[in-house]
């Protein structure tokens, strides 16, 4: 088993079950107070104490995802953390599915990448506090047609950054709508550029109060008011557009910049 998804409640178990279905080689662990497996969590292993369970499986897993309070995960894992290059990744998700926190093993252990993947699955906000990542302040929103080639996305992103006066090294996310989560060209382009790819839920785009340029094409084709601009704005905190919706090589791009509290 690569990933253990651990939770203490029925609410958490419902969210954890969604993760287990989408994460490769993942196992579900549900506290016995949440109910029996036949009551909605088939295949789950029930446990009585999170400290004891963590001690048992910690070094047998590549990653542990706690759908539980951060304090629970901290207390459960603290005694077992030894070396960030060898320890499993530890991610924490609140039972409301609002945040996916990279708690331990950020770069070396893969927790940053896992937090983003978890966030993309459930529509949560990835929380990554690694200094080198947190100081990046640009987000490139991308809208594209089905079957787009990676080369076109890559060129569009690079040229958009040139127009915006920003460097690739400053880009924290590529962002798009969740309807593009399986778009191979977009995924490949993000990998080539070495930039994490974040997907924003369609519902969040429809409900946002952000002001952005609306697209009749996107509305007709994918039932969204736009993709590139709202995705760029919603993927960060305190964002503003520095390059509005621009079409390059058949790919729609927009660039947003985040502001840091200490720079205001």
Q: pLDDT-derived band of residue 64, with 50, 70 and 90 as boundaries?
A: very high
Residue 38 confidence (pLDDT) above 60:
no
Q: What is the mean pLDDT of residues 171-186?
A: 97
Q: How far is CA 84 from the centre of its chain?
A: 21
Q: What is the mean pLDDT of residues 187-203?
A: 97
Please give the class, per CATH, of domain 3-132. Answer: alpha beta
Query: What integer pLDDT is reported at residue 1 of this predicted model?
Result: 64
Residue 178 confidence (pLDDT) above 90:
yes
Residue 176 confidence (pLDDT) above 90:
yes
Residues 6 or more apart whose Cβ sits within 8 Å of residue 168: 158, 161, 193, 195
Query: What integer pLDDT is reported at residue 36 of this predicted model?
Result: 59
| Residue range(s) in the chain whose domain bears CATH number 3.30.420.180 | 137-263
Q: What is the mean pLDDT of residues 174-198?
A: 97
| Residue range(s) in the chain whose domain bears CATH number 3.40.50.11220 | 3-132
Query: What integer pLDDT is reported at residue 260 of this predicted model?
Result: 85
Alpha helices in the chain (DSSP H): 10-22, 50-57, 70-77, 111-122, 131-134, 150-164, 184-193, 202-207, 216-222, 228-234
Per-residue pLDDT tens digits for 81-131: 998 888 999 999 999 999 999 999 877 779 999 999 999 999 999 999 988
* Model confidence, pTM: 0.91
Query: What integer pLDDT is reported at residue 136 of this predicted model?
Result: 95
Q: What is the CATH number of domain 137-263?
A: 3.30.420.180
Q: pLDDT-derived band of residue 186, with 50, 70 and 90 as boundaries?
A: very high
Residue 261 confidence (pLDDT) above 80:
no
DSSP, residue by residue, 75-103: HHHGGG---TTTSPEEEEE-TTS-EEEEE
Which single residue is written with the structure tokens 């047609």?
Answer: 145
Query: Which of residues 110 and 174 earns the better pLDDT score?
Result: 174
């Amino acid at each position: 088993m690569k990933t253990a998804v651990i939770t203490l409640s029925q609410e958490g178990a419902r969210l954890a079950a969604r993760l287990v279905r989408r994460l490769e080689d993942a196992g579900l662990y549900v506290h016995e107070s949440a109910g029996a497996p036949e009551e909605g969590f088939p295949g789950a292993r029930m446990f009585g104490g999170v400290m004891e369970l963590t001690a048992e499986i910690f070094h047998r897993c590549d990653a542990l995802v706690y759908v539980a309070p951060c304090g629970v995960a901290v207390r459960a894992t603290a005694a077992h953390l030894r070396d960030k290059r060898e320890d499993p990744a530890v991610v924490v998700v609140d039972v409301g599915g609002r945040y996916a926190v990279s708690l331990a093993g950020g770069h070396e252990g893969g927790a940053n990448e896992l937090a983003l993947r978890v966030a993309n699955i459930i529509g949560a906000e990835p929380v990554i506090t690694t200094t080198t990542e947190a100081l990046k302040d640009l987000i490139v929103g991308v809208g594209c047609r089905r079957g787009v080639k990676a080369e076109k996305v890559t060129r569009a992103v690079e040229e958009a950054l040139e127009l915006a006066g920003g460097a690739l090294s400053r880009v924290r996310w590529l962002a798009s709508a969740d309807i593009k989560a399986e778009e191979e060209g977009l995924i490949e382009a993000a990998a080539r550029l070495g930039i994490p790819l974040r997907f924003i839920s369609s519902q969040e785009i429809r409900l946002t109060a952000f002001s952005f340029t609306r697209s009749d094409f996107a509305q007709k084709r994918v039932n969204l008011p736009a993709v590139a601009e709202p995705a760029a704005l919603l993927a960060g905190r305190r964002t503003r557009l520095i390059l509005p919706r621009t079409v390059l090589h058949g790919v729609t791009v927009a660039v947003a910049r985040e502001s840091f509290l200490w720079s205001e």
